[in-house]
Every structure is written in C-alpha cells, then in structure tokens.
Amino acid sequence: MLPRMIFCMPGRLDWGLMPATDWGWLITPEELRGWILEETSDLIVLNKPPHVVCHRSRYGPWSSLIGACREYLGDEVLRMPFRLDRETSGILVLARTKEAGVRLQRAVQFKAFRKTYHAVLTGHLETAVRVTAAIGPDVGAEFYSRQTTVAEGGDAAETEFIPIASGGGYTLVRVHPHSGRRHQIRVHAASLGFPLVGDKLYGPDPSLMLRFMREGMSAELAERLVLDRQGLHCSQVEFETERGTEVFSAPAPEDLAAFVLARMGWRWK
C-alpha cells in the first residue's frame, strides 16, 4: 500500500486529497473541476497537478487525466497533442474534436510548438546558461527509462536555463527547451551540477528511486529529497496554427510556490 499523500492543488486555496489505493490514486470529479482553466466546445485546458498520470491506465478511467476528462465531459475521444510526466505539473491541452486535434498535433509535428517551464534547481545558478549536449540511454542504469548526457551516439538536445531567484541553496529558473528529448530538462540540469530538487532519477543519488519504488515515500526519503516530486512545472505552451498563435498558460503550482517562499524567501506568482 502506498502512503497516503497530501497534494496542494494548483489554483485552489485548500489541499486536495486523492483517495489512496494499493497502486496510486483515483481522481475525483471535484478535484478535476478545480484543475480546469478553460473549457470550450473543442478544447479543455487544465493545470495538471503532480502525481497524476496523463494516459489511460489499467485501473479504470478515473486513474488517469485523459480518462477522467472523458468521463467528466462525456466525450468518447479526446486527443492529447503532448503530455507531461507523472510528477511534472502544469499546462495540459486536450482536443475534443478531430479538427482541433489535427490542428494542434500538426503544430507539434512540424515544430511550430514551444513550451516554457519553471524548475527549482538544487544549488545557486548565477547566470543564464544554454546547454547543448546530446542525450542518449544510460546503458548501465538500473532503470531502463533513465537517460544521461552522452558525448557520442545520442540525440541532439538544447535547453536554456534562466535564473529568476535564488536562496537557501536553491534556484528558481525559467526553462526553454529548444528540442523535445525525453527527460531533457532533468538530464541537462543534472549535467550542469544543478539537479532538480526532488528528482529521484537524476538527482545526486539515483538509488533513491529504487528505494521509493520498494518503500514509497518514507520519512527518510522525504527528508533527503526535500520535495515529494521533481520540481518541474510547465507554465506555458504556444502553438503556431492556421488560427495564429494559440497560447495557454498555467499559474504557479501551490506546492512549488510554497517551497520557494519557505526555502528561498521569494514569492512566486
């Protein structure tokens, strides 16, 4: 049984509590309504909280964001032009019609698509930096999904990190990924020596991920990781389509904003 966790839901004043199960959490209709930023006849835009999986799972429709949205809206099909990792919070756009799905997916396919993230890094990053380093599989990693910066044989990747505030041994940065490799931001941040706070996979001790998978979030792991998830938030997405520039933004997540205020003394709005 995984430990029962409390999450601070973006855009709400109270703390959301997902019902715990032996495999994770089920989304409730009330919670889902609190995450919706915009709802039209062809789109639904959400501020996804951390710890919510995007794609369908075998545990039923309310165990994933797209499944919960289908149930909530009564739509048979929803299209997701991009997704976010389970622990990453932020803006997510779902297309309710075929036309909207094709329009947005075409922008992603032809690289007429930009994302802006905010991340909390461990350490003090003094100046903006652009990382250009190929990303490929870490052959010796204990997790097949782990990737690392490699000198040869990887896929070209480029990420820009711009410091916004720092203090207490942490830095809040705005991040512009100029390519779309898997785990790109986390890998490049770690390659700089400034891993994302709470990152179990690319932080200073990757063995913490194995322990988390076996034990859940124990008191010891919580103390070492500081956050119960990787400190990454997708704050804005832009699609260049036949309608022009379509921009969608999400406010700062309450858990990371509270962390930045408590640890760094800076108010992130």
The residue type of 131 is: V
* Confidence at residue 182, expressed as pLDDT on a 0 to 100 scale: 87
What's the rounded Cα separation, in Å, for the pair 252 and 118? Answer: 9
Q: Residue 33 CB: number of other CB atoms within 10 A?
A: 10
* Confidence at residue 191, expressed as pLDDT on a 0 to 100 scale: 92
CA dihedral 208, 170, 159, 86 (to 10 degrees): 40
Residue among 49, 51, 83 at smallest CA distance from 66: 83
Per-residue 3-state assignment (H helix, E strand, C coil) for 120-189: EEECCCCCCEEEECCEEECCCCCCCCCEEECCCCCECCEEEEEEEEEECCEEEEEEEECCCCCCHHHHHH
* Confidence at residue 129, expressed as pLDDT on a 0 to 100 scale: 98
Q: Does the CA dihedral 192-145-116-205 come out positive or negative?
A: negative
Per-domain residue ranges for the chain?
Answer: 7-264
Helix (H) or strand (E) holding 262: helix 254-264
What's the rounded Cα separation, in Å, for the pair 118 and 162? Answer: 9
Q: What is the mean pLDDT of each run of 10 residues along the chain (269 residues)?
A: 33 40 75 96 96 86 93 94 94 97 96 97 97 83 60 85 96 96 93 93 74 68 80 98 96 95 92
Residue among 204, 163, 157, 205 at smallest CA distance from 184: 157
- The single-letter DSSP state of residue 49 is P
Q: Contact at 8 Å (CB) between 183 and 137?
A: no
- 264 vs 152, 166, 186, 224, 234, CA distance in Å? 38, 6, 21, 18, 20
The catalytic residues are 85
* Confidence at residue 127, expressed as pLDDT on a 0 to 100 scale: 97
Residue among 266, 268, 252 at smallest CA distance from 12: 252
The residue type of 109 is: Q
* Confidence at residue 29, expressed as pLDDT on a 0 to 100 scale: 94
What's the rounded Cα separation, in Å, for the pair 89 and 194? Answer: 20
Strand, helix or coil for residue 18:
coil
What's the rounded Cα separation, in Å, for the pair 247 and 112? Answer: 12
Q: Contact at 8 Å (CB) between 55 and 61?
A: no
CATH architecture of structural domain 7-264: 2-Layer Sandwich (3.30)
- The single-letter DSSP state of residue 62 is G
